[in-house]
C-alpha cells in the first residue's frame, strides 16, 4: 500500500510542473519554428534572386539573340537547385521564351506584373506546386525581357513542420524522463511521510501498539522519533487514565449500589419527583405503603400514582422552597403515615432545582402509643378525680353539718359531745388527706401532661417580681399558719422574661412552700435579681439542709430528702420535678446549694428578653404628653357622679358607629362619651375617668393599639378595662382585656361590658398613706366607695407584698423616701399623688 | 318566681354531692333543684323548664356536656340559661373549648362545696 500511495501534495506539484513544462516547450518550439520558417523564406528569396540575376546576366545576349534552346538549357540546370519549382523567361513583349513547366506553363503566370527597375517578389499559387514565391528580374531593364523563378514554399512548410515535430518529440522524451525522475524522487520522499501519517492516524485511533521504522537521519526521521516518544508517553497516560477511570467507575458503581441499597432498605417510604411532577424514584417501603406492586412508575405523573395527600406534598416542592410537613396520611392496611417533603437543590455549578423528595413514615404505632398516653391521662384524670370529688365533697359537707347542726345540738351532752368532737377531728383528717391526695393527682397529671407535651404554655412578657409577689401572696396561708416570716427582695427595673406567668408562679409557690416546711424557724428569703442576661430567683431557708447524696437527684420524680422509711414524707415528691420541667421549658436552669444544718438555697434563672418590641420608646414618648403632672391630683369626680351609672368611653373614628354605640349603651342605662381619635381618647380617659373604654383599632393618627399602650402605661388609666371592638381578629394582642370582632353580637357585647365593669370593682380597692383622721379628701370615698385602707408609709411595701391590688394614694408630703417608680410599676397597682395638704384638690 | 338549678351528671354520688351542697340555697333563697342523669335528659329539661343555672358534666353517656352546651348556646330561646361545666378533665384545651362554647365557668373536679355555693349565688344574683 505504501508503494502505491503517493502523497497528493507531490502529485499536485508534479502535475503543475508537467503543465508548465508543456506550455514552455510549446512556446519555445513555436518560436524556434517561426524563426526557422522566416529564415528559410528569406533564404529562398535571396536564393531565387541570385538565380534570377544569374540567369538575367547570362541571358541578355541569348535573349537578344533569340536563342531559345540555350536559354532552355540554362534554366533547366537551375531546376536542380533545391527549392526551385520553376524558371521561365519572357522577352520584352512578354512572350514566354522558355520555361521548365511540363507540359505547359500555366497561363496566369504570364500576366504577373513585371517591374522594369529591379527584382520583385510575389507569392502565387501554381499547380502542381502549391504556394510558390515568384521572383521576377528584368533583363536589361526589361528591354531584353524578364526572368521568373518560382521558389517552392511548400518545401519550407515541410521543413518547418518536420523541425517542429522533432523538437516536440525531443521535448516529450525529456518530459517523460523528468516525470519519471520526479516520481522516483517524490516516492522516496513521500514514503516515510506516508508512514508517519499512517502512524499518526493509528495513534489518533488510540492504537498504541503501532510502531514505525525510522532509518533516515533527516528532519523526517527526527519527526518520527519525536512522534514515537510522544506515542509511548501518550500510551502510558492513556493506560494510567484508563485504570483511573476503571477504578473510579468501580467506586462509583459500588457507591451507587450502596446508596440504592440504603434507599431500598429505608423503613421510611421515599418518593422523588422531578420539577415537573413526574416520579423518578420510589423505594420498596413506599410501594408497600400504597400497595403499588412491582410496576415501574418512573416518568408517571405523581398525581396518577399516589393519593392526593402525597402528591400535594410532592407538588408543593415545585417552588423549591423549604420543607413541607404533611398532616396524617392514610396508608394501606389501615395504617397512618406522616410525610415531609423537601426540595432537591443543587448549588454547583449553577443553582438548580432537581425536584422534591417526600419521606413518609409509618406512625401507626407512635400514634397508638400517643393515643394511649392521652387516653391514660384522660382516664386517670377522670377516674381518680370523680371519686375524690365525692370523698372530699362529702367529707366537707359532713364537717360543715357537724359544725353547724350536730355540735351545737350536743352542747349539753358531755359523752356524745366528746365522740362528736373526735368525729369532727377525724373528718378534718380525712379532708386534709383527701386534699393531699388531690394535690398528688394534680401533680402527677401535671407532670404527665408536661412530658407528653400536652400542656399549652403561655408566651407573654412576665415580670419575675410580680411572679414572686404573687407566689408569696398565695402561700400566705401556709407561712402565716406556720408562723414563718417570708421576706421578699426584688431588684428594681428588672427586664421581663418570656413565658407562662401562672406556671412560673407555680415554681415559686413550690419553692417557698418547701422553704416554709423546712424553715427551721428562721425566715425564708426570696430574692429576685438580674444576673447578666437572665433573672435569677433564689429561695433560701435556714432549715436542716440537704445531704450531698440527695442534691443530685432532688429534682427527679418521687425523690424526697431523707429516709422515706423512717421519716414521713410530706408532699408528693413531684413538686421539684414539676419545677424543673417548668424552668427548663423557659430555657432556664434550677439548682440547689445546701449546707447541712445551716439551710438550703434553691436557685433558678430565666433568660430575659428585650421587651422593647412591646412598648417602643417612641410610643412612650407619644404617651408622655397625655400623662398628668404628678402633683395634679386625680380626685376629680363630683360626689353625685360616682353613684351614677357607669361611664363608657367609646373610641371610634367612624361617626356612624360612634352614634350607634352611644344609642346602644344608653339604651342599657350606661352613660357614654365619644372619642374619635386615639389622642382624644387619652385626654378624655384622663378627664372623665370612664369605667370602661371600647376601642377601635384602625384609626387615623394615633391608632387604637398605641392608645391602649398609653392608657396601660399611665398609672391613672391602666385599671380601666378596655374592650377592643375591631374588624381585625387579633384584637386581644393589641393589649385590651377582651376583643370582639365587628360586627358585634349585641347581647354578647352587653354581657361582656357588664362582666368587665364587675371585674373592675376588684381593682378599685384603695390604699391611702397616712392617718385616717388626717385625711380630708372626701373625694376618696367617691373614688373608692367600699374598700379603703389607711396605712402608715413604712407599711406600704408590706401591703404591696401581701398582694394588694388597686390604687395607692400618697399625699405629696409623704412621697419623700418612697420609691414611687417601683410602686407604679407593680401590676394592677396605680399610684396617685395627692396634692399637698395646704391646698385641697379643686374638684373636691 | 323561684330560680331553678339543674344538675346534669351520670355519677350518682356527684349528683348527690351537688344536691346536698346546694340544698342550702333551696332553704334560704327558694331555689328549686333538679337533676338529670345524662346529656339528653338534661337537654330536654333545659328546653322545657329553662333553668337559670345548669351544672353540666362533660363526660356523660348519650350526649356529652360540650354538645349540650353548644346546642343550648345556639338556641336563641335559651339565651338566659347559664352553664357551669364540671369536669374531671383538666387539660387546658378542654377548658378553652368549654369557655369558647359560651359556658360561664369551667370547674375542675374535685371542687370545693363552698366554691360551688359562692359561684351559684353570684350567677343567680342572690
pLDDT above 90 for A252:
yes
Q: Tens digits of per-residue pLDDT, A214-246? A: 777 788 788 888 888 888 888 889 889 999 999
Choose the closest CB to B88 out of A386, A454, A747.
A386
Cβ neighbours for A430, distance < 8 A, ≥ 6 positions apart: A391, A395
pTM over 0.90: no
Residue A57 and residue A158 in one domain: yes
Q: Tens digits of per-residue pLDDT, A133-146? A: 888 888 877 777 88
Residue A536 and residue A564 in one domain: yes
pLDDT of residue A439: 82
pLDDT confidence bin for A482, thresholds 50/70/90? confident
pLDDT above 80 for A562:
no
Residue A780 and residue A711 in one domain: no
Range of the domain at A383: 367-449
Residue A402 and residue A460 in one domain: no
Q: Tens digits of per-residue pLDDT, A75-90? A: 888 888 888 888 888 8
Cβ neighbours for A6, distance < 8 A, ≥ 6 positions apart: A183, A186, A187, A190
Please say whether the beta carbons of A100 and A71 come within 8 A: no
Residue finishing a domain among A743, A762, A781: A762
Residue A421 and residue A488 in one domain: no
Residue finishing a domain among A449, A467, A482: A449
Residue A174 lies in a domain: no
Q: How far apart are CA B126 and CA B121, in angstroms?
A: 5
Q: Looking at the 3D structure of chain B, how many domains does it have?
A: 1
pLDDT above 70 for A672:
yes
pLDDT of residue A633: 33
pLDDT of residue A4: 45
Instruction: Provide, as residue numbers in chain A, all residues whose Cβ is less than 8 Å from the Cβ of B114.
Output: 396
Choose the closest CB to B88 out of A381, A396, A400.
A381
Residue A247 lies in a domain: no
pLDDT above 70 for A423:
yes
pLDDT above 90 for B6:
yes
Q: Please name the residue of chain B whose CA is at the shortest distance from the CA of residue A445.
A: B90
Mean pLDDT along residues A246-271: 92
Question: What order of strands is seen across the sheet that includes strand A692-695?
Answer: A671-675, A647-651, A692-695, A722-726, A738-741
Residue A435 and residue A485 in one domain: no
Residue A720 lies in a domain: yes
Looking at chain B from residue 36 to 55, which residues have their Cβ under 8 Å from any Cβ of chain A? none
pLDDT of residue A537: 92
Q: Tens digits of per-residue pLDDT, B43-94? A: 999 999 899 999 998 888 888 888 888 888 888 888 788 899 887 765 556 6
In this structure, what CATH number is given to the domain that contains residue B21? 3.40.50.2300
Instruction: Provide, as residue numbers in chain A, all residues whose Cβ is less than 8 Å from the Cβ of B57.
Output: none
pLDDT confidence bin for A257, thresholds 50/70/90? very high
DSSP string for A763-794 = TT-EEEES-TTT---THHHHHSSS-EEEE-GG
Residue A350 and residue A391 in one domain: no
Residue finishing a domain among A762, A778, A809: A762
Mean pLDDT along residues A249-264: 92
Q: Looking at the 3D structure of chain A, how many domains does it have?
A: 6
Query: Of A720, A680, A672, which is closest to residue A704 (Cα–Cα)?
Result: A680
Query: Of A705, A782, A720, which is closest to residue A753 (Cα–Cα)?
Result: A720
A436 touches chain B (CB under 8 A): no
Residue A378 and residue A320 in one domain: no
Residue A230 lies in a domain: no
Mean pLDDT along residues A527-545: 87
Residue A463 and residue A557 in one domain: yes
Choose the closest CB to B110 out of A377, A388, A747.
A388
pLDDT above 80 for A378:
no
CB contact under 8 A, B17 and A389: yes
Which comes out higher in pLDDT, residue A473 or A451? A473
Residue A25 lies in a domain: yes
pLDDT of residue A765: 63
Which comes out higher in pLDDT, residue A330 or A449? A330
pLDDT above 70 for A440:
yes
Residue A161 and residue A15 in one domain: yes
Query: Of A189, A201, A165, A210, which is closest to residue A33 (Cα–Cα)?
Result: A165
Q: Tens digits of per-residue pLDDT, A309-367? A: 888 888 887 777 777 777 788 888 888 888 888 888 888 778 788 888 888 888 888 88
ipTM: 0.78
Q: Tens digits of per-residue pLDDT, A734-789? A: 667 777 777 677 777 887 788 777 654 444 466 777 765 555 554 454 445 455 67
Range of the domain at B89: 4-124
Q: Tens digits of per-residue pLDDT, A58-116? A: 777 777 777 778 778 878 888 888 888 888 888 777 788 788 887 777 777 777 777 77
Which comes out higher in pLDDT, residue B87 or A826? B87
pLDDT above 60 for A203:
yes
Amino acid at each position: 500500500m505504501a508503494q502505491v500511495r503517493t502523497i497528493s501534495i507531490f502529485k499536485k506539484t508534479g502535475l503543475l510542473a508537467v503543465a508548465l513544462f508543456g506550455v514552455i516547450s510549446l512556446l519555445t518550439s513555436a518560436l524556434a519554428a517561426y524563426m526557422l520558417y522566416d529564415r528559410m523564406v528569406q533564404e529562398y528569396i535571396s536564393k531565387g534572386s541570385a538565380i534570377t540575376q544569374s540567369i538575367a546576366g547570362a541571358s541578355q545576349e541569348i535573349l537578344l539573340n533569340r536563342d531559345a534552346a540555350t536559354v532552355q538549357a540554362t534554366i533547366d540546370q537551375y531546376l536542380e537547385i533545391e527549392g526551385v519549382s520553376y524558371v521561365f523567361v519572357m522577352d520584352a513583349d512578354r512572350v514566354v521564351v522558355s520555361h521548365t513547366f511540363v507540359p505547359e506553363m500555366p497561363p496566369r503566370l504570364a500576366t504577373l506584373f513585371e517591374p522594369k527597375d529591379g527584382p520583385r517578389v510575389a507569392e502565387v499559387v501554381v499547380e502542381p506546386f502549391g504556394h510558390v514565391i515568384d521572383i521576377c528580374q528584368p533583363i536589361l531593364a526589361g528591354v531584353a525581357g524578364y526572368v521568373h523563378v518560382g521558389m517552392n514554399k511548400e518545401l519550407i512548410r515541410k521543413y518547418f513542420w518536420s523541425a517542429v515535430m522533432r523538437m516536440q518529440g525531443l521535448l516529450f522524451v525529456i518530459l517523460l524522463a523528468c516525470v519519471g525522475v520526479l516520481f522516483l524522487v517524490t516516492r522516496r520522499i513521500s514514503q516515510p511521510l506516508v508512514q508517519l501519517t499512517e502512524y499518526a492516524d493509528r495513534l489518533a485511533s488510540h492504537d498504541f501498539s503501532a510502531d514505525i521504522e525510522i532509518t533516515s537521519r533527516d528532519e523526517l526521521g527526527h519527526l518520527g522519533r519525536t512522534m514515537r516518544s510522544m506515542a509511548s508517553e501518550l500510551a502510558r497516560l492513556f493506560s494510567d487514565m484508563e485504570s483511573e477511570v476503571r477504578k473510579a467507575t468501580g467506586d462509583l458503581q459500588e457507591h451507587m449500589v450502596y446508596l440504592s441499597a440504603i434507599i431500598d432498605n429505608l423503613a421510611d417510604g421515599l418518593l422523588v419527583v422531578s420539577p415537573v411532577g413526574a416520579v423518578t424514584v420510589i423505594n420498596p417501603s413506599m410501594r408497600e405503603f400504597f400497595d403499588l406492586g412491582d410496576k415501574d412508575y418512573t416518568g408517571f405523573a405523581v398525581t396518577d400514582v399516589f393519593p392526593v395527600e402525597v402528591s400535594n406534598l410532592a407538588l408543593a416542592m415545585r417552588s423549591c422552597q423549604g420543607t413541607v410537613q404533611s398532616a396524617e396520611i392514610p396508608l394501606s392496611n389501615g395504617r397512618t403515615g406522616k410525610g415531609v417533603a423537601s426540595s432537591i437543590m443543587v448549588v454547583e455549578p449553577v443553582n438548580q432545582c432537581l425536584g422534591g423528595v417526600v419521606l413518609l413514615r409509618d406512625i401507626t404505632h407512635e400514634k397508638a402509643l400517643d393515643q394511649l398516653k392521652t387516653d391514660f391521662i384522660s382516664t386517670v384524670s377522670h377516674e381518680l378525680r370523680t371519686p375524690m370529688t365525692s370523698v372530699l365533697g362529702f367529707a366537707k359537707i359532713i364537717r360543715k353539718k357537724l359544725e353547724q347542726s350536730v355540735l351545737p345540738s350536743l352542747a349539753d351532752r358531755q359523752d356524745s359531745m366528746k365522740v362528736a368532737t373526735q368525729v369532727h377531728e377525724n373528718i378534718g383528717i380525712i379532708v386534709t388527706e383527701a386534699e393531699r391526695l388531690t394535690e398528688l393527682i394534680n401533680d402527677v397529671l401535671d407532670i404527665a401532661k408536661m412530658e407528653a407535651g400536652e400542656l399549652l404554655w403561655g408566651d407573654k412578657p412576665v415580670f419575675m417580681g410580680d411572679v414572686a409577689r404573687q407566689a408569696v401572696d398565695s402561700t400566705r396561708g401556709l407561712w402565716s399558719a406556720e408562723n414563718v416570716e417570708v421576706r421578699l427582695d426584688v431588684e428594681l427595673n428588672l427586664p421581663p422574661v418570656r413565658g407562662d406567668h401562672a406556671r412560673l408562679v407555680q415554681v415559686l409557690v413550690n419553692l417557698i412552700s418547701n422553704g416554709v416546711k423546712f424553715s427551721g424557724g428562721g425566715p425564708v428569703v426570696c430574692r429576685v435579681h438580674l444576673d447578666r442576661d437572665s433573672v435569677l430567683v433564689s429561695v433560701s431557708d435556714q432549715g436542716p439542709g440537704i445531704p450531698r447524696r440527695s442534691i443530685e437527684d432532688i429534682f427527679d420524680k418521687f425523690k424526697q430528702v431523707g429516709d422515706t422509711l423512717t421519716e414521713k414524707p410530706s408532699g408528693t415528691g413531684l413538686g421539684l420535678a414539676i419545677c424543673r420541667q417548668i424552668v427548663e421549658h423557659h430555657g432556664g436552669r434550677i439548682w440547689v446549694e445546701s449546707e447541712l444544718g445551716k439551710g438550703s438555697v434553691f436557685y433558678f434563672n430565666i433568660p430575659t428578653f428585650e421587651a422593647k418590641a412591646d412598648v417602643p420608646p417612641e410610643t412612650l414618648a407619644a404617651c408622655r404628653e397625655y400623662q398628668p403632672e404628678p402633683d395634679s391630683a386625680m380626685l376629680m369626680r363630683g360626689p353625685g357622679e360616682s353613684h351614677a351609672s357607669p361611664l363608657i368611653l367609646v373610641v371610634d373614628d367612624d361617626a356612624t358607629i360612634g352614634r350607634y354605640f352611644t344609642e346602644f349603651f344608653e339604651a342599657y342605662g350606661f352613660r357614654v362619651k365619644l372619642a374619635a381619635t386615639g389622642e382624644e381618647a387619652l385626654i378624655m380617659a384622663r378627664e372623665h375617668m370612664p369605667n370602661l373604654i371600647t376601642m377601635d383599632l384602625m384609626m387615623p393618627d394615633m391608632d387604637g393599639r398605641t392608645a391602649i399602650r398609653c392608657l396601660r402605661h399611665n398609672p391613672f388609666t391602666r385599671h380601666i378595662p378596655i374592650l377592643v371592638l375591631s374588624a381585625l381578629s387579633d384584637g386581644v394582642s393589641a393589649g385590651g382585656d377582651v376583643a370582639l370582632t365587628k360586627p358585634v353580637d349585641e347581647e354578647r357585647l352587653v354581657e361582656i361590658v357588664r362582666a368587665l365593669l364587675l371585674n373592675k370593682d376588684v381593682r378599685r380597692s384603695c390604699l391611702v398613706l397616712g392617718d385616717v383622721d388626717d385625711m380630708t379628701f372626701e373625694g376618696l370615698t367617691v373614688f373608692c366607695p367600699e374598700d379603703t385602707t389607711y396605712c402608715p408609709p413604712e407599711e406600704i411595701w408590706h401591703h404591696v407584698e401581701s398582694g394588694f391590688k388597686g390604687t395607692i394614694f400618697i399625699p405629696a408630703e409623704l412621697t419623700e423616701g418612697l420609691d414611687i417608680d417601683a410602686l407604679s410599676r407593680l401590676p394592677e397597682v396605680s399610684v396617685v399623688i395627692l396634692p399637698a395638704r395646704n391646698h385641697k384638690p379643686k374638684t373636691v | 318566681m323561684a330560680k331553678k338549678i339543674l344538675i346534669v351528671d351520670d355519677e350518682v354520688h356527684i349528683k348527690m354531692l351537688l344536691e346536698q351542697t346546694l340544698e342550702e340555697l333551696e332553704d334560704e333563697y327558694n331555689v328549686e333543684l333538679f337533676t338529670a342523669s345524662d346529656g339528653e335528659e338534661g337537654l330536654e329539661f333545659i328546653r322545657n323548664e329553662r333553668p337559670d343555672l345548669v351544672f353540666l358534666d362533660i363526660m356523660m353517656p348519650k350526649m356529652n356536656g360540650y354538645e349540650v352546651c353548644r346546642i343550648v348556646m345556639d338556641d336563641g330561646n335559651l339565651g338566659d340559661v347559664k352553664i357551669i361545666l364540671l369536669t374531671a378533665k383538666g387539660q387546658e384545651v378542654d377548658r378553652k373549648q368549654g369557655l369558647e362554647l359560651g359556658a360561664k365557668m369551667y370547674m375542675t373536679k374535685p371542687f370545693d362545696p363552698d366554691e360551688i355555693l359562692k359561684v351559684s349565688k353570684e350567677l343567680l344574683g342572690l
